[in-house]
Amino acid sequence: MRKLVALPVLSADALSSVAYGPEAMLAVLVLAGTAGLDFTTPVAAAIAFLMLAVGISYRQTIRAYPHGGGSYIVAGDNLGRIPGLVAAAGLMTDYVLTVAVSIASGVAAITSAVPSLSPYTVPIGAGVIAALLLGNLRGLRQAGALFAAPTYAFVLAMLALVAKGLADAADRGFHTAAAPPLHAAEGVGALLVMRAFASGSTAMTGIEAISNAVPAFRPTEWRNARTTLTWMICLLITLFAGVTAVARLDGVVPRSGETVLSQLAHRGFGSGPMYVVTQAATAAVLLLAANTAYNDFPRVLFLLARDGHAPRLFLRLGDRLAFSNGIAVLSVAAAVVFIAFRGDTASLIPLYAVGVFLAFTLSQAGMVRHWWRLRDRHWRKSLFFNATGCVLSALVLVTAGITKFTSGAWVSILAVGLFLLVTTRIHHHYEEVRAALRLHPHAIEIPASPGGAPPAEPSPAAEGVPPAAPSAAPVRPMAPPHASVREDEESPEEIRNLAIVPISTLDLAGMRALAYAASLRQPALALHLSPGEAEADRFRGYWDRWGDHLPLEVLVTPYRATVAPLVHYIEALHAQQPQLTLTIVVPEIVTRRRRYRLLHDRTASRLRRALRLLPKIVVTDVPYHV
Amino acid sequence: MRKLVALPVLSADALSSVAYGPEAMLAVLVLAGTAGLDFTTPVAAAIAFLMLAVGISYRQTIRAYPHGGGSYIVAGDNLGRIPGLVAAAGLMTDYVLTVAVSIASGVAAITSAVPSLSPYTVPIGAGVIAALLLGNLRGLRQAGALFAAPTYAFVLAMLALVAKGLADAADRGFHTAAAPPLHAAEGVGALLVMRAFASGSTAMTGIEAISNAVPAFRPTEWRNARTTLTWMICLLITLFAGVTAVARLDGVVPRSGETVLSQLAHRGFGSGPMYVVTQAATAAVLLLAANTAYNDFPRVLFLLARDGHAPRLFLRLGDRLAFSNGIAVLSVAAAVVFIAFRGDTASLIPLYAVGVFLAFTLSQAGMVRHWWRLRDRHWRKSLFFNATGCVLSALVLVTAGITKFTSGAWVSILAVGLFLLVTTRIHHHYEEVRAALRLHPHAIEIPASPGGAPPAEPSPAAEGVPPAAPSAAPVRPMAPPHASVREDEESPEEIRNLAIVPISTLDLAGMRALAYAASLRQPALALHLSPGEAEADRFRGYWDRWGDHLPLEVLVTPYRATVAPLVHYIEALHAQQPQLTLTIVVPEIVTRRRRYRLLHDRTASRLRRALRLLPKIVVTDVPYHV
What value does the mean pLDDT take over residues A107-111?
94
DSSP class per residue in B543-598: HHHHSTT--EEEEE-SSS-SHHHHHHHHHHHHHH-TTEEEEEEEEEEE-SSGGGGG
**What does A210-243 look like in DSSP terms, one character per residue?**
HHHTGGGSPSSHHHHHHHHHHHHHHHHHHHHHHH
C-alpha span between A138 and A131 (Å, rounded): 11
Residue of B nearest to A512 (CA): B493
Q: Residue A531: CB partners within 8 Å, gap ≥ 6?
A: A556, A557, A558, A560
CB-CB neighbors (< 8 A) of A521 in chain B: 481, 485, 487, 520-522
Question: What are residue B497's DSSP bridge partners?
Answer: B581
The answer on pLDDT for A453 being more than 60 is no
CA distance B26 to B320: 44
- A119: closest CA of chain B, how far (Å): 20
Interface test with B, best of A570, A596, A599, A611 (most B CBs within 10 A): A599
- Whether the pLDDT of residue A445 is over 50: the answer is no
Element (H, E) at A587: strand A580-590
DSSP string for residues in A89-118: HHHHHHHHHHHHHHHHHHHHHHHHHSGGGG
CB contact under 8 A, A462 and B547: yes
Whether residue B492 is predicted with pLDDT greater than 60 in this model: the reply is no
Instruction: Write down the pTM of the prediction.
Output: 0.70
Cβ–Cβ gap A474/B552 under 8 Å: no
- Determine the length of chain A: 626
Give residues with Cβ within 8 angstroms of B216, minimum separation 6. Answer: B1, B6
Q: Give tens-digit pLDDT for A519-578.
A: 888 888 899 988 888 888 888 888 887 776 788 889 888 776 778 888 889 999 998 988
- Residues B549-558 have pLDDT tens digits of 788 889 888 7
pLDDT surpassing 80 at residue B622: yes
* Lowest-confidence region among B6-10, B82-86, B127-131: B6-10
**In this complex, do B550 and A500 lie within 8 Å of one another by their Cβ atoms?**
no
For an interface test with A, give the residue of B422, B520, B542, B595 to mutate (most A CBs within 10 A): B520
pLDDT in tens, B237-290: 999 999 999 999 988 989 888 999 999 999 989 888 999 999 999 999 999 999
Q: What is the mean predicted confidence (pLDDT) over A375-389?
A: 89
Beta carbons of B433 and A562 less than 8 Å apart:
no
> How close A571 comes to chain B (CA, Å)?
9
CB contact under 8 A, A519 and B581: yes
Q: CB B472 to CB A552 under 8 A?
A: no
The total number of residues written for chain B in this structure: 626
Q: Tell me the mean pLDDT in the region A576-598.
A: 85
Nearest-angstrom CA–CA distance, B452 and B456? 11
Contact B310, B325 (CB under 8 A): no
Least confident among A601-610, B20-29, B451-460? B451-460
Which residues of A fall within a CB distance of 8 Å from B433?
A: 589, 591, 600, 626
* Binary contact (A479, B524; C-beta < 8 A): yes
| Cα gap A317→A561, rounded to integer Å | 41
Give the one of B319, B462, B623 whose C-beta lies nearest to A540's C-beta.
B462
Measured distance CA(A31)–CA(B399) in Å, rounded: 62
Buried/exposed code over A77-107 (b: 16+ C-beta within 10 A; e: otherwise): bbbeeebbbbbbbbbbbbbbbbbbbbbbbbb
Q: Identify all chain A residues contacting B553, using CB atoms and an 8 Å cutoff.
A: 461, 465, 468, 474, 477
Look at residue A619 and give its three-state secondary structure.
strand
Which chain A positions have a beta carbon within 8 Å of B325's beta carbon? none
From the candidates B427, B519, B594, which should be mutated to test the interface with A, based on the most A CB atoms within 10 A? B519
pLDDT bracket for residue B319 (50, 70, 90): low
Inter-chain contact A437–B498, Cβ cutoff 8 Å?
A: no
| pLDDT tens per residue, range A151-160 | 999 999 999 9
Name the nearest CA neighbour of A576 among A536, A521, A530, A616.
A616
| pLDDT over 60 (residue B299) | yes
- Give the C-alpha separation, A508 to A516, whole Å: 12
Q: Which of B321, B483, B519 sits opposite A559 (nearest CB)?
A: B321
Contact yes or no for A310/A301 (Cβ under 8 A): yes
* C-alpha of A478 from chain center: 43
- Chain B closest-CA separation from residue A506 CA (Å): 8
How is B216-273 classified by DSSP, letter by letter?
Answer: GSPSSHHHHHHHHHHHHHHHHHHHHHHHHHHHHHHT---BTTB-HHHHHHHHHHTTSH
Report the residue of chain B nearest A312, measured CA to CA: B599
> CA of B74 to nearest chain A CA: how many angstroms apart?
24
From chain B, pick out residues whose CB is under 8 angstroms from the CB of A519.
491, 495-497, 581
What one-character DSSP code corresponds to residue B489?
S
User: B610 to chain A: nearest residue by CA?
Assistant: A594
| Strands lying side by side in the sheet with B580-590 | A552-556, A524-530, A496-502, A580-590, A617-625, B617-625, B580-590, B496-502, B524-530, B552-556
Q: How confident is the model over A429-451, as a mean pLDDT?
A: 62
| Closest among A63, A56, A58 to A376, alpha carbons compared | A63
Instruction: Say if residue B540's pLDDT is above 50.
Output: yes
Shortest distance between the Cα of B332 and any Cα of chain A, in A, equals 17
Of B426, B541, B553, the CB nearest to A474: B553
Enumerate helices (H) and strands (E) in chain B, giving the number of each.
23, 5
Closest-CA residue of B relative to A575 is B473
Q: Which residue has the higher pLDDT, B462 or A359?
A: A359
**Cβ <8 Å between B549 and A433:** no
**Contacts with B586 from chain A: Cβ below 8 Å:** none
d(C-alpha B585, C-alpha A618), whole Å: 10
Q: What percent of chain A has pLDDT over 90?
A: 39
pLDDT value at A485 more than 70: no
Distance CA A272, CA B252 (A): 61
Contact (Cβ atoms closer than 8 angstroms) between residue A358 and residue A90 = yes
Instruction: Give how far Cα B97 sits from Cα of B201, B208, B350, Å.
Output: 14, 15, 10
Cα–Cα distance list, B541 to A452, B535, B547 (Å): 12, 10, 9
pLDDT digits (tens, 9 = 90+) for A6-24: 888 888 999 999 999 999 9
CB environment A599-614: b (16+ within 10 A), e (fewer): bbbbbbebbbebbbeb
Mean pLDDT of chain A: 84
pLDDT above 60: residue B442: no
Is ipTM strictly over 0.90? no
Closest CA to A60 of A272, A377, A285, A299: A377
Contact B478 A523 (CB under 8 A): yes
| Contacts with A555 from chain B: Cβ below 8 Å | 467-468, 470
Residue pair B162/B242 in contact (Cβ under 8 Å)? The answer is yes
Which residue type, as a one-letter code, is found at position B448? Answer: A
Longest dimension (CA), chain A: 108
Residue A5 pLDDT > 70: yes
Q: Dihedrals φ, ψ of A585, to 5°?
A: -105, 110
CA distance B498 to A185: 79
Rounded CA separation A228/A210 (Å): 8
Residue of B419, B412, B421 lying closest to B205 (CA atoms): B412
Residue A542's pLDDT is 84
Say if CB B222 and CB B63 are below 8 A apart. Answer: yes
**H or E element: which one contains B171?**
helix B145-171
Strand A552-556 and strand A580-590: the pairing is unpaired
Instruction: Name the residue with higher pLDDT: A296 or A282.
Output: A282
Q: What is the DSSP letter of A18?
A: G
Q: Shortest Cα distance from B472 to chain A (angstroms)?
A: 7
The arithmetic mean of pLDDT across residues A376-388, rounded, is: 89
CB distance A139 to A321 below 8 Å: yes
Q: Measured between CB atoms, which of B461, B549, B553 is closest to A553?
A: B461
Chain B: residue whose CA lies nearest to A463: B540
Measured between CA atoms, how close is B375 to chain A, in angstroms? Answer: 36
Mean pLDDT of the A366-377 span: 90
Q: Smallest Cβ distance to B508: which of A439, A461, A565? A: A439
Cis check: omega of the bond before B562, within 30 degrees of 0: no
Q: Which residues pair with A625 in a beta bridge?
A: A590
For testing the chain B interface, which of A437, A596, A603 should be mutated: the one with the most B CBs within 10 Å?
A437
Which among A309, A449, A484, A512 is the top mutation candidate for probing chain B, defined by the most B β-carbons within 10 Å of its own β-carbon? A484
Can you tell me the mean pLDDT for A179-199? 84
Residue A143 has a pLDDT of 54
Q: Which of B599, B605, B608 to mutate to test the interface with A (most CBs of A within 10 A)?
A: B599
With a CB cutoff of 8 Å and minimum separation 6, the contacts of A485 are: B518, B521, B522
The single-letter code of the amino acid at A158 is: M
pLDDT at position A40: 92
The C-alpha atoms of residue A117 and residue A111 are separated, in whole angstroms, by 6
CA distance B14 to B16: 6
Widest CA span in chain B: 108
CB contact under 8 A, B544 and A455: yes
Q: CA B241, CA B438: separation in Å to the nearest integer?
A: 59
Report the range of poorest mean pLDDT among B36-40, B295-299, B420-424, B476-480.
B476-480
Calpha distance A304→A298 (Å, rounded): 10
pLDDT-derived band at B141, boundaries 50, 70, 90: low
Q: Provide mean pLDDT across the span B330-342.
A: 93
CB pairs A-B closer than 8 Å: 369
